[in-house]
Amino acid sequence: MISIGRLFGHDTKFYDLLEASAQQADTSVHHLVDLLARIESKGSPDLAAFAQSRREDKRITQELTEQLTKTFITPLEREDIQALAASLYKIPKTVEKIGERMLISPQDLPKITFARQVELLDRAAETVLAMVKQLRKGMNVDTAREMNAKLQTIEGDADDLELELLRDLYHGNYDAKHIIFLRDLYELLEKVIDRCRDAGNVVLQVVLKHT
C-alpha cells in the first residue's frame, strides 16, 4: 500500500495533533468513570475535568485547522484530516454532556449501574485511539478492517444493551421522571459509542483510499 505517511507529507505535526485529539477522547471516558465513582461514594462530583478535556480538544482542532492553511496538502487529503478531526472532537463533547445530565439528578443514579455501557464506551475509545496511532505507522488494510470490525461489534453490543435497558425501564417500577432521566442517559451513552464508530470509519476510509 502507499504509506499513510505520504498523506500528511514528512511533517509529523498532523499525526501529533490527531493522536492528541484521540487521547483526549479516551481521557474523557476515564473522567466519566471517575464521575460515576464519586457519585456512588456520595463524594463531590464536578465537571471540571470534562471541561478541561473538551477545551484542550477544541484547541487541538483549531491548531490543526491553522496548520492546514499553512501546509501544502491536496484537497482530498485535507478533507480526510478535517473529517477525522471533527469526528474525534465530537467524542469528548458528547461525553461531557453525559456528565452534565448525570449531575442534574445524581441522587437517582446510585441505584442504577452504568458499568456495562461505560465498559463498552471505554473499549470503543481505546480502539479509536489505537487506530489513529496506527496511521503514523502506515496501517495496512487488514489491520484497519479488523480494528474497525471491533468497533462495529462494540456498537452492535451497545445497541442490544440499550434495548435491554429500555425494555426494563418501560416495564419496571419507575415513575415518569426517572424514565425520562434514564432514557436520556441511555441514548447519550449509545450516541457517544456511535461517535467512536464514526471516527473508526473515517480512519478505515483513509486507509482504503491510499491502498
Q: What is the pLDDT of residue 101?
A: 93
pTM above 0.85, yes or no: yes
Q: What is the pLDDT of residue 138?
A: 83
CB 90 within 8 A of CB 26: no
pLDDT in tens, 16-53: 999 999 999 999 999 999 998 888 887 788 888 998 88
Q: What is the pLDDT of residue 155?
A: 96
Tell me the pLDDT band of 7, cut-offs 50, 70 and 90.
very low
Domains: count for the chain: 1
Q: Could you give the C-alpha distances from 202 to 58, 61, 102, 131, 208, in angstroms and in order? A: 19, 16, 30, 10, 10
Helix/strand/coil for 125: helix
CATH code, domain carrying 196: 1.20.58.220
Stretch 166-191: mean pLDDT: 91
Tell me the pLDDT band of 111, cut-offs 50, 70 and 90.
low
What does the mean pLDDT of the chain come to?
Answer: 87
Tell me the pLDDT band of 2, cut-offs 50, 70 and 90.
very low
Is residue 6 over pLDDT 60? Answer: no
pLDDT in tens, 121-163: 999 999 999 999 998 888 899 999 999 999 999 999 999 999 9
Q: What is the pLDDT of residue 157?
A: 96
Q: What is the pLDDT of residue 94?
A: 94
Q: What is the pLDDT of residue 112?
A: 66
Angstrom distance (rounded) from CA 58 to CA 85 = 10
Question: What range defines the domain where residue 193 resides?
Answer: 5-209
Angstrom distance (rounded) from CA 154 to CA 81 = 24
